[in-house]
A and B are shown apart, each in its own frame.
Chain A
């Protein structure tokens, strides 16, 4: 099915430098950095708006994105999200890494991995909104413009991960 051989990932410093140049261009051309979680919030509000439009109008947090006749998707961040998806697809295609599969530690089943990925996503989504940004929008972007809050946030992400890592080591090793 996939004739191409999966190429190895590039040197992390080189990858980081590429990411850094993209981040700089974001600041240079738009005045703001990169991000993903804000757009994901908009997608979520958009979906909710289809099923429970009145609810979106009543809850302040959702109304901010999709209240009234506002389209929650009419925002530049949605196009960045779309671009991120396309970019991943392009790079995956040229490096032979487009493949339907599940990446997991050797001691767990695919199903366990999926459940935990979902739970981790819920925790991540919740935390990202509380911190007003995810690893891209808050840590990466805010870090590059030296925001104090972003640096505090970034170290806390690492701390949170390291504290729990030992307890869930069976998931990954």
Chain B
């Protein structure tokens, strides 16, 4: 499934060749659209020719519709696509500065390259200016690094912001773009052709353009109707590989290994407790976070795991294993990596790191009905305040002799970074 990540999967030769070919397509499209001519670009800001807006927004809506259509059809895994992380105010200030540079210099970095390659001397001066500008930035960024890294919101899309399916956002953006195109046509007649308001043609479009626009909108509506793939569907793409990992038990880690992970200062660990809230309150491992299966489908919760640093291990814990396996499927479907399950769950943990009899005793009554129930009867809720929550805490207890096979293998996130990174 796409993205094919040619560079990551087939090495630098094919990766660089792909980049070169895409670049050529980019250059051709820019030049043919008139972006090598500074006057045409600057005209945008005097409403005489709205080419910049038309080309840019058409490109955005065409690419957007294709991306989310292929995603809804299961051809493209959108969670693996690079989305420019949001640093809100640095982006806003940078954008305003660039707007000024645009009207003064007549280009943006990409278009100046095309101008330069077609022999435009102003393009060459502009490229020289950009080189000097990025140099100045590199020299000065250290003095305002805090601002540069502020207002970080990570991977944050319009559909997440609006709380809607991506398909809905696609249709909204299409409608907004069409409204802007229509406005542009009218403004061009007024300021470009200098027509009086009463003489402006309110139906500026030819049939072909209208048909193309309608087809695009229809594709957007289809994308919205199919919807972005559910977690069940995303699991089905992965289940062949992941089910084998579950069957071979390579993702189930022994309590002894979890103990080592918990006390390994070089790792970040997320202990994900998917049991009922009451079981969690009665007893849980140190620093474990209580999350329901439903929580694990929420974007803001998932985002934390996806944005985690490379040395993060995620361990799912239930009383036995059943709920943990469900959680594993939900999280793997969403591409969360370095994900493991505590083998035998809390019950197994308490069998190994024995709890004081005055607090809890093992009893199997509930477990007869429900295999994933807590097999220990607690006299009171102790949370994480007792020795087995993290056995290192109290020195009076020695650790039991444990033999186990280590299974945690840290997988580094394959990061795809953007062209401007």
- With A81-B113, A84-B26, A165-B46 known as contacts, the answer to whether A15 contacts B33 (CB < 8 A) is yes
Report how many residues on chain A are interfacial, defined by Cβ distance under 8 Å: 125
Q: Is B55 in contact with A32, judged by CB distance below 8 angstroms? A: no
Name the prevailing secondary structure of the A interface residues: helix
Q: Is B6 in contact with A13, judged by CB distance below 8 angstroms? A: no
Which of A84, A86, A140 contacts B56, CB < 8 Å? A140
* In the complex, chain B residues whose CB is within 8 Å of the CB of A16: 33, 54-59, 62
Besides A92-B31, A160-B102, 16 new A-B residue pairs in contact (Cβ under 8 A), listed by A number: A16-B57, A19-B58, A22-B26, A31-B416, A35-B420, A80-B26, A116-B106, A136-B419, A145-B157, A146-B159, A147-B85, A147-B156, A148-B153, A153-B94, A156-B95, A160-B96
Q: Is B131 in contact with A125, judged by CB distance below 8 angstroms? A: yes
Q: Is A9 in contact with B40, judged by CB distance below 8 angstroms? A: yes
A137 CB within 8 Å of chain B: yes
* In the complex, chain B residues whose CB is within 8 Å of the CB of A38: 418-421
Q: Which of B74-82, B311-319, B322-330 contacts A (4 or more CB under 8 A)?
A: B74-82
CA distance A85 to B115 in the complex (A): 9
Q: Is A130 in contact with B161, judged by CB distance below 8 angstroms? A: no
- 7 A-B pairs (CB sep. < 8 Å): A85-B27, A89-B118, A128-B130, A131-B97, A132-B421, A137-B84, A168-B103
Which of A12, A86, A110, A158 contacts B23, CB < 8 Å? A86
A105 CB within 8 Å of chain B: yes
Q: Is A90 in contact with B169, judged by CB distance below 8 angstroms? A: no
B137 CB within 8 Å of chain A: yes
Q: Is A28 in contact with B120, judged by CB distance below 8 angstroms? A: no
Q: Is B39 in contact with A83, judged by CB distance below 8 angstroms? A: no
Q: Is A86 in contact with B117, judged by CB distance below 8 angstroms? A: yes
With both chains docked as a complex, state the minimum distance between the C-beta of B244 and any C-beta of chain A, in angstroms: 25
Q: Is A36 in contact with B22, judged by CB distance below 8 angstroms? A: no
CA distance A132 to B421 in the complex (A): 7
Q: Is B84 in contact with A19, judged by CB distance below 8 angstroms? A: no
Counting from the closest, the 7 A-B pairs by CB-CB distance are A120-B105, A35-B419, A83-B23, A160-B99, A121-B129, A87-B27, A125-B133
**Tally of contacts, chain A with chain B, CB under 8 A:** 585
Q: Is B125 in contact with A149, judged by CB distance below 8 angstroms? A: no
* In the complex, chain A residues whose CB is within 8 Å of the CB of B30: 19, 84, 87-88
**What residue in chain B is nearest A65 (Cβ atoms)?**
B138
CA distance A93 to B34 in the complex (A): 14
* In the complex, chain B residues whose CB is within 8 Å of the CB of A83: 19-27
Which of B22, B83, B90, B112 contacts A121, CB < 8 Å? B112
* In the complex, chain B residues whose CB is within 8 Å of the CB of A158: 53, 99
* In the complex, chain B residues whose CB is within 8 Å of the CB of A134: 98, 108-110, 420
B183 CB within 8 Å of chain A: no
Question: A36, A41, A133: which has the most chain B beta carbons within 10 Å?
Answer: A36
Within 8 A of A (CB), among B120-136: 120-123, 125-136
- With A22-B25, A147-B157 known as contacts, the answer to whether A165 contacts B418 (CB < 8 A) is no
* In the complex, chain B residues whose CB is within 8 Å of the CB of A122: 101, 129-130, 132-133, 136
Q: Is B114 in contact with A127, judged by CB distance below 8 angstroms? A: no
Q: Is B94 in contact with A127, judged by CB distance below 8 angstroms? A: yes
With both chains docked as a complex, state the minimum distance between the C-beta of A53 and any C-beta of chain B, in angstroms: 15
CA distance A147 to B64 in the complex (A): 11
With both chains docked as a complex, state the minimum distance between the C-beta of A33 and any C-beta of chain B, in angstroms: 6
Q: Is A79 in contact with B19, judged by CB distance below 8 angstroms? A: yes
CA distance A114 to B159 in the complex (A): 43
Q: Is B123 in contact with A117, judged by CB distance below 8 angstroms? A: yes
- With A34-B22, A38-B419, A141-B84 known as contacts, the answer to whether A103 contacts B122 (CB < 8 A) is yes
Q: Is A19 in contact with B23, judged by CB distance below 8 angstroms? A: no
- With A9-B33, A29-B22 known as contacts, the answer to whether A24 contacts B107 (CB < 8 A) is no
CA distance A169 to B45 in the complex (A): 9
Within 8 A of B (CB), among A10-51: 10, 12-13, 15-41, 43-45, 47-48
* In the complex, chain B residues whose CB is within 8 Å of the CB of A95: 31-32
B29 CB within 8 Å of chain A: yes
Which of A24, A114, A155, A168 contacts B67, CB < 8 Å? A24
B175 CB within 8 Å of chain A: no
Which of A76, A132, A168 contacts B84, CB < 8 Å? A132
CA distance A103 to B125 in the complex (A): 12
CA distance A160 to B70 in the complex (A): 35
With both chains docked as a complex, state the minimum distance between the C-beta of B285 and any C-beta of chain A, in angstroms: 36
Which of A40, A97, A103, A159 contacts B131, CB < 8 Å? A40
